[in-house]
Amino acid sequence: MIKAILIFNNHGKPRLSKFYEHYTEDMEQQIIRETFHLVSKRDENVCNFLEGGLLIGGSDNKLIYRHYATLYFVFCVDSSESELGILDLIQVFVETLDKCFENVCELDLIFHMDKVHNILAEMVMGGMVLETNMNEIITQVDAQNKMEKSEAGIAGAPARAVSAVKNMNLPEIPRNINIGDISIKVPNLPSFK
Amino acid sequence: MSDVVEKTLTALPGLLSLDSQPGAAKLSATSRLGTLVRSITELTSKNEEEKLIKKELAAIKEQVSSPNTTLKQMKEIMVRAIYCEMLGYEASFTYIHAIKLAQQGSVLEKRVGYLAVSLFLHECHDLLLLLVNTVLKDLQSTNLIEVCMALTVVSQIFPKDMIPAVLPLVEDKLTHCKEIIRRKAVLALYKFYLIAPNQVQHIHDKFRRALCDKDPGVMTASLHIYLQLVKERPESYRDLTESFVTILKQVVGGKLPVDFNYHSVPAPWLQMQLLRILALLGKEHQRTSEMMYEVLDESLRRAEINHNITYAILYECVKTIYTIHPKSELLEKAAKCIGKFVLSPKINLKYLGLKALTYVVQQDPNLALQHQMTIIECLDHTDPIIKRETLELLYRITNSQNVSVIVEKMLDFLQQSKDEYTTIDLVGKLFPISCHTYAPDNSWFIQTMNAIFSMGGDVMQRDIPNNFLRLLAEGFDSDEEDRQLRLLAVDSYLLLLQRDTSGLPQRFLQVISWVLGEFSFLKEGLEPGEVVGQLTKVLDHDAITVETCCWVLAAMSKLCGTDCALHRAEKVAQRYAGCLDTVLRQQTVELELLGRDLDLRTRVLPQHSVRDHLEVDSSLSFLDGFVSDALACGAAPYKPPHQRQEELSQEKILNYEPYGLSLPISLSACNLTDRQSPTALSLSSGLSGNSAEPSLKAGSNSLKLEGVKRVWGKQGYLPEKEPPDEALALEPSSFLAPSPQQGAAESHQTVVSPTIEQDQEKRQLASSLFVGLGSQNTPCLMGKPETSSQRFRRKARPEEFSAISKSPAVSSVFSSSNSAMDDLLDDVVSEPIGVCPLVEPAVVQNHSDSMSDAVPAVDATELVVASEAPVSSLTGGSMPLGQLSSQLGQDLESSLASHLPGLLSGLLRSGIEELCSGEGLSLSACKVYDDDALVLAIFLSNTSDSSIQEVSCLLSSEQLQLKGLDESSCSFTELKGHGVAVSLYRLVMEAPSTQAMVRGSVSVGSQATQSFSLTLSLVDFIRPLPLTTEQYGRMWLSFSHDVKQNLRLLEDEEVLLDSAVTALKEKLRLHIVDVIGPEGILACQLVPERPCLLHCHAQGGTLVLWLRSPGADLPDCLLYHCQKAIQER
């Protein structure tokens, strides 16, 4: 089970935190600090797994993290999860963010926190992996965003007019990009303290 | 046509402006949040940040309370609040607004509202109550997105007691047409299963349907549930193995749509999940394992492409292969795979390779041998994580030849590591391997321990120093060696104290002072005054804690044998005479007193004293007199802390039940508001007063509760002896065994004491982190057989034996009736029959001739009773005993029933079922439902012609407690040819659970010959509780733990209640208190004396079950059986 998903930048500023088990607020902050402390002192060329972290589960706890430019993505999981599986899940998550925000950067995570949470909710539910297919996740998120638009008042208009307006607003038709070997691709995240 | 165009054109500007509005709003939100973020990043100190956020929060507070704030603005405010909370600043005043937003907003705002709720609130938060209605509404919504949001929030934060409210709706979603909804519903149910397994017991069928869902996504989600279920009870799900194998085969074979591919690997996460489930299923089960060999082979073969995710699958595959019943061909391939991992230049794979090696090294030591060089390289790896994993691997292969090298490496690592977790973990491993089995010699041992103590510092587990001291104190096999070891310790510590001691951890100083106090007399020519002087120096450091001071002073009290020492010690004592810490002061006073009075000291602190076994009366029985005096004077009986806590929290607890429908009519008359009214609450708590069980006084006198006499509660001491009638039943009288008491006592000693001793040793081993089995069986890396035995094994204490043999030797061999028993019998018989008129007539009994010889002289009256004894029909359902053919059952019934002791023959009992048989001994069992316990009668029948000597039958259970009639064994010195012996066990269920396992074994002589296991259901421990409606009403109010469940049964209302109540009565033996209109109330108790009340209400096609009890688990577990009973009608 996934116990927590944390994103913080190189300075330890939290950018997203989602806990799937209940901790007090103080504890959550301590966990973030401890995790940052553990992860930040690791070199670049070491493995992406860590054990320990006394606050969140002790010996049954694994930290699996990836470091992209300015951001650390850390998943705290228990011993039943597969290390490599989670590692690729982080990759899927980041790629999805990249696609939803078109070249995601740290700023996107701050200003669209709610969207990031929504994307995450489509991937992981109650600590369990729900969906791992990027296209599927994006479809779900898009469906909700469409809802958002229709909420904004399009719903009542004639269908053709709607499509006209939509096309006006969205000059770009969604691109169908075929990504090659993603494991080497690092999304470009401009530095932002 | 033009009309349409015109309309469109006129509508367009409006649309555009509408559309631009949210954009603008978003912009402003962005800018507000943006300003906040920007100003935060510009700050240089934490202090300033705090100030800024405080200001921001104040602004938010103002905004949310303003009536003019629109929902849209509220949404932005929520995002800002989330941001502040994430930074660790509390914004609790926004919580209620988050709930409001989720309630009132349109989809978009709702989403933010739900998000905020799931981030802010947790399962124990009071405000959650306000969310229930919103969630219920959204679950029923036609808007998919709303349903999705509701399901997500339900799985995230809903607590146990709110589940019943949403369960039916979530269940319905399993048949929803959209796969995404089904998938989320499955995960929500999984979450429910984790929190409250009993509440979703009835939908296991639906889980199976989810597993067979046509959408692979739903099937994948259902695997989460199955992984959990299989983990808990693999044997119940072995029948699904084939399905899992088929699914995996299809996935591996690429039968899934391409959408499920990830880097052209078909559904890798699904594969991993399946492999994990298969590992659990095939563990220690050959036949199941055989079914999966083929697909595992296929998986290994297919996963050849070099991508991370294929390695992930391979890793799971290897783990599965090594977990299930081994097949050499597969093992070979898996070993090759591990090699690929270990030798990989990619560091992640290397790490996993080492992990896999650690996992398999016990089974296959050669594998470690193959990768020797890589392992050595990894020891010097730059990544500390890799290093630690390597040490973990080495730890598993430690033996007496390599121990010093491995310990050295570990100590090196310990020195470099500053991480607390690593230190605790490593010290925990170092201690056992360096002292347990492998220590090459004494001085090495002491030196290593010194290093461990000085590096482990004060973070190591507490029991490590304690265990070390115990090792020194209790010694080993040879006295000479003990002396040498102690002397070495004293020498090395004196040396340490001469140097600078300021850097030594407190724990180490405590160890040093204890050892010096206890053993420094061993060193010849050492003046105690000198030692006291050294210890005084320790006290001079500033960093020393009060605890360490106490240890040092205690050591000094032992040392003041000479004038010089006494003088020095007293000087020290003076220093602390005025200190405020009571423990330290006590120690000081003791030191002074003992120093002056030599006689007293030798009596209190004799040398060598540690070797003597201290008798500790943990039950504090010497206080009995005091307690009973106090009770007689009206003091409240003792309540254990957890109970006090429970009662406190009960008073605060909120009732989540909606008003109305579920309130029993009979009760509503006396108290309409139920527990929600504070006055009612105080009234009921006033009623129950301070008594240990709130039900005691409210309950009827028919409950026979002991009340005040229960002085020390469950675990503590109960001064009352067993009631006299039970004591009578204990009296064994035998025809077969000439002196059963003596015989039983003997075999008691031989059979029981080793197990108890083993038990104790096990505990000892576990607590001191001696990895007993692991290191004992550790294969030798060098290929030489292991020679050294366990050095530091504890000696067995003679006291243990004697203590056991003192316990009353009890066994009932063919208990015959005597006059006293007959009297008792009359009492017992009348009651259960009166209470349970719904039992089947007894099976006709025929005594077979061969048996009747062995049957004790049974007088006529008893025979009549025995044949009239009702045989219950309760064997169905979860009881595996009931699977035998009726023919066999009849035979057993007729041949064995008469062997039941007269005392029990009047009681309701189950049929007799065979447990196991072999080697001339056949075992059968029968459950007798006594008033205050379940009596399990085990019939040992000798099927051969020759007699069997020294037969004994041992029973054990983790969940159940044996009490009364017997200790834990029944043994018989002799069992004649075709003879039958009966062992009786009284069982009670202290902690309610839906079912419990009893394991037993039969041994002949000292060899165990047969073992059996039996599953007992909670129902076996449930007895009817006769109550009047009034008593019921009073008790209902005083009970605080309840569960409620709606059962949809689609039956006619009138028939429904009747048939349900009857089913409950027949199958669970509940007592029907009253049936009024569409409501019925029933009562029962879990023996001994834990009442549970049930209220059912038929509404349309739904039956609302509501259970209440003073304890938390009982209603939960009973509800499960009620559901089953009603659904299986």
Cβ atoms within 10 A of the Cβ of B140, count?
12
Give the pLDDT confidence score for residue B436 in this predicted structure. 56
Interface touch B385/A29, C-beta < 8 Å: no
Query: Any idea which of A168-172, B565-569, B670-674, B715-719 has the lowest mean pLDDT?
Result: A168-172
Interface touch A52/B425, C-beta < 8 Å: yes
pLDDT per residue as tens digits for the range B604-654:
777 655 555 566 677 777 888 888 888 888 888 877 777 777 776 665 555
Chain A residues with CB under 8 Å of B419 CB are: 38, 52
Q: Are A27 and A55 in contact (CB under 8 A)?
A: yes
Question: pLDDT at residue B973 above 50?
Answer: yes
Give the pLDDT confidence score for residue B612 in this predicted structure. 54
Interface touch B347/A45, C-beta < 8 Å: yes
Question: pLDDT at residue B252 above 50?
Answer: yes
Give the pLDDT confidence score for residue B747 in this predicted structure. 40
**Calpha distance B1040→B652 (Å, rounded):** 11
Distances (CA, A) of B587 to B577, B598, B823: 9, 17, 61
Residue B414, min C-alpha distance to chain A (Å): 15
**Calpha distance B900→B859 (Å, rounded):** 14
Which tokens sit at A79? 């011993």
Q: How far is CA B308 from the centre of its chain?
A: 36
Beta strand B1022-1024 pairing with B1007-1017 = unpaired
pLDDT per residue as tens digits for the range A140-185:
888 877 766 665 444 333 333 333 333 333 223 232 322 223 333 3
Query: Any idea which of B188-192, B327-331, B570-574, B819-823 has the lowest mean pLDDT?
Result: B819-823
Task: Report, as an integer, the average pLDDT of B60-83.
Answer: 85
Handedness of CA B323, B329, B335, B337 (dihedral sign): negative
Give the pLDDT confidence score for residue B819 in this predicted structure. 41
- Of the candidates A18, A47, A126, the beta carbon closest to that of B191 is on A126
- Of the candidates A46, A114, A157, the beta carbon closest to that of B79 is on A114
- Of chain B residues 582-611, which have a CB less than 8 A from chain A? none
Closest CA to B897 of B941, B945, B949: B941
Which tokens sit at B94? 């926004």
Q: How far is CA B706 from the centre of its chain?
A: 30
Q: Label residue B727 by pLDDT band (50, 70, 90).
A: very low
Q: Are B982 and B942 in contact (CB under 8 A)?
A: no
Task: Report, as an integer, the average pLDDT of B832-859.
Answer: 38
Cβ atoms within 10 A of the Cβ of B1010, count?
19
Query: Any idea which of A100-114, B306-320, B707-721 has the lowest mean pLDDT?
Result: B707-721
Chain A residue closest in CA terms to B258: A133
Q: Provide CB contacts within 8 A for B120, sequence distance 6+.
A: B82, B85, B91, B92, B94, B95, B98
Buried b (16+ CB within 10 A) or exposed e, B896-918: bbbbbbbbbbbbbbbbbbbbbee
Q: Label residue A189 by pLDDT band (50, 70, 90).
A: very low
Cβ atoms within 10 A of the Cβ of B1072, count?
16
CA angle at A101 for the pair A95 and A107, rounded to the nearest 5°: 105
User: DSSP code of B385?
Assistant: H
Chain A residues with CB under 8 Å of B144 CB are: 143
Which tokens sit at B376? 């050595």
pLDDT per residue as tens digits for the range A5-30:
999 988 888 889 999 988 888 888 88
* Max avg pLDDT among B150-154, B738-742, B1035-1039: B150-154
Q: Are B858 and B817 in contact (CB under 8 A)?
A: yes
Q: How many residue pairs from chains A and B have C-beta atoms closer than 8 A?
A: 187
Between B1009 and B89, residue with greater pLDDT: B89
- Of the candidates B156, B224, B347, the beta carbon closest to that of A46 is on B347
**Calpha distance B86→B101 (Å, rounded):** 20
**Which residues in B155-199 belong to E strands, given as ranges?**
none
Q: Is there a cis peptide before residue B901, judged by omega within 30 degrees of 0? A: no
Give the pLDDT confidence score for residue A151 in this predicted structure. 52
Give the pLDDT confidence score for residue B682 in this predicted structure. 36
Closest CA to B748 of B674, B691, B811: B811
**Calpha distance B33→B556 (Å, rounded):** 66
Between B1020 and B775, residue with greater pLDDT: B1020
Is B425's Cβ below 8 Å from some Cβ in A? yes
Q: Label residue B969 by pLDDT band (50, 70, 90).
A: low
Helix H segments across B403-505?
403-416, 420-435, 442-456, 463-474, 479-498
- Of the candidates B15, B21, B422, the beta carbon closest to that of A52 is on B422
Q: Label residue B667 by pLDDT band (50, 70, 90).
A: very low
Give the pLDDT confidence score for residue A74 in this predicted structure. 93
Question: pLDDT at residue B585 above 60?
Answer: yes
Q: Are B975 and B942 in contact (CB under 8 A)?
A: yes
Question: pLDDT at residue B842 above 60?
Answer: no
* Max avg pLDDT among B239-243, B478-482, B685-689, B883-887: B239-243
Interface touch B350/A50, C-beta < 8 Å: no
Q: Is B244 helix (H, G, I), strand (E, B) or coil?
A: helix
- Of chain B residues 166-185, which have a CB less than 8 A from chain A? 180, 183-184
Q: Is B808 helix (H, G, I), strand (E, B) or coil?
A: coil
**Calpha distance B764→B794 (Å, rounded):** 9
- Of chain B residues 226-285, which have a CB less than 8 A from chain A? 227, 259-260, 262-263, 268-269, 272, 276
Closest CA to B589 of B544, B557, B551: B557
Which among B128, B194, B385 is the top mutation candidate for probing chain A, defined by the most A β-carbons within 10 Å of its own β-carbon? Answer: B385
Interface touch A131/B268, C-beta < 8 Å: no
**Calpha distance B128→B115 (Å, rounded):** 14
Buried b (16+ CB within 10 A) or exposed e, A33-44: ebbbebbeebee
Interface touch B108/A160, C-beta < 8 Å: no
Q: Provide CB contacts within 8 A for B73, sequence distance 6+.
A: B25, B63
**Calpha distance B286→B280 (Å, rounded):** 12
Give the pLDDT confidence score for residue B947 in this predicted structure. 80
